[in-house]
Amino acid sequence: MAAVNSVSFSGLSQCSDRRLPIPSARSLASHFDGFRFRKSVFCHYSGVRTSSFSSRMVIHCMASGTDVTTVAETKANFLKAYKRPIPSIYNTVVQELIVQQHLMRYKKTYRYDPVFALGFVTVYDRLMEGYPSDEDRDAIFQAYINALNEDPEQYRIDAQKLEEWARSQTAASLVEFASREGEVESILKDIAERAGSKGNFSYSRFFAIGLFRLLELANASEPSILEKLCAALNVDKKGVDRDLDVYRNLLSKLVQAKELLKEYVDREKKKRDERAGSQTASEAITKCLGEYSMQTGL
């Protein structure tokens, strides 16, 4: 489970050690309540798409009450799109997450945000690390985003674009985006303008995680850099710190649960192999005895 153990962020506290009680899928769901989004900060995505990455940031419309999809419909859409069983430790988190994101997605003021997309992709990929099948993991992602009537490919494209940009940045250039021109810089400027006006700005824990992912990729994980970036974006750093703490705590519990699951699967596999080996040996002995009896006329 090396991939699972890589989830901790540099510059932040590491996952809890193995001496802590291992949480069950049910306790993870209960803890996941802490990952809920605050009602006052949601925004509504218009569903309008343009060919320009940055222009999507400034085009939106409001949904009428008759357009709202119910939580049950969103969950049903997900289950229709992905019919295979999901291991309970993953399914518990996915089901809780899709309910929470549905409530955010259908707020009247929700607006798609590439930093938000980066945050969600980061959350999804790290929560689903170690999933038995890469193909199934990708299929679940597709079904999840489609169930919310959004574009999974756009999430991936925008997240990748921001990640590539962040890898080419330094701590200084990252926080000085306002003084430079560029596609991603324009996105960050738009966010800063909207956040500063206290108007149409979609803050959520996904957004906070997206910010931290930018810092992580730029090797700028010092707390002072996060503080400067929050100030440049007109975002409350206390809220970002709190949301990142919740996220780290969730990952810590999930890592422990995954390790327990792996130990259980390995133990059961060993038992099956031992039983199969014993059965094969017994069959071989029986066959040899039969052949011997035929040859000796017994």
Residue 216 belongs to a domain: yes
pLDDT at 201 over 90: no
Could you tell me the sign of the dihedral formed by the alpha carbons of 258, 3, 30, 223, in that order?
positive
**What per-residue confidence (pLDDT) applies to 5?**
36
Number of residues that make up the chain: 298
Other Cβ atoms closer than 10 A to 11:
15
108 phi and psi, to 5 degrees? -60, -30
Q: What is the pTM of this model?
A: 0.69
Q: How many structural domains is the chain composed of?
A: 1
**What per-residue confidence (pLDDT) applies to 81?**
97
Query: Structural domain of residue 141, as residue ranges?
Result: 71-254
Whose structure tokens read 């970036």? 229
Range in 59-63, 124-128, 155-159, 256-260 the model is least confident about: 59-63
Give tens-digit pLDDT for 121-142.
999 999 888 888 999 999 999 9
Contact (CB, 8 A) for 49 and 154: yes
Confidence of residue 199 (pLDDT cuts 50, 70, 90): low
**What per-residue confidence (pLDDT) applies to 167?**
96
**What per-residue confidence (pLDDT) applies to 18?**
38
54, two tokens: 């940055």
Range in 7-11, 69-73, 216-220, 277-281 the model is least confident about: 7-11
Helix (H) or strand (E) holding 66: none
Report the C-alpha gap between 178 and 238 in whole angstroms: 22
Report the C-alpha gap between 85 and 244 in whole angstroms: 30
**What per-residue confidence (pLDDT) applies to 242?**
93
Contact (CB, 8 A) for 174 and 214: yes
Average pLDDT over residues 237-258: 85
pLDDT at 63 over 60: no
Residue 176 belongs to a domain: yes
Helix/strand/coil percentages in the chain, nearest 5: 70, 0, 30
Average pLDDT over residues 275-297: 62
Residue 131 belongs to a domain: yes
Residue 28 belongs to a domain: no
Give tens-digit pLDDT for 9-61.
333 333 333 333 445 555 555 555 555 444 333 333 333 333 344 434 333 33
26 phi and psi, to 5 degrees? -65, -40
186, two tokens: 């324009």
Higher per-residue pLDDT: 179 or 130: 179
Angle at the Cα of 9 from the Cα atoms of 246 and 198, rounded to 5 degrees: 55
Residue 290 belongs to a domain: no
**What per-residue confidence (pLDDT) applies to 84?**
95
Which of 117, 219, 208, 119 lies closest to 167, judged by CA? 219
Which of 244, 192, 179 lies closest to 213, judged by CA? 244
Residue 170 belongs to a domain: yes
Range in 7-11, 28-32, 83-87, 93-97 the model is least confident about: 7-11
Report the C-alpha gap between 194 and 78 in whole angstroms: 32
Report the C-alpha gap between 209 and 130 in whole angstroms: 20
Share of the chain above pLDDT 90, in %: 44
Average pLDDT over residues 264-281: 76
Average pLDDT over residues 139-158: 97
Which of 154, 172, 60 lies closest to 116, judged by CA? 154
Residue 226 belongs to a domain: yes
200, two tokens: 């149409």
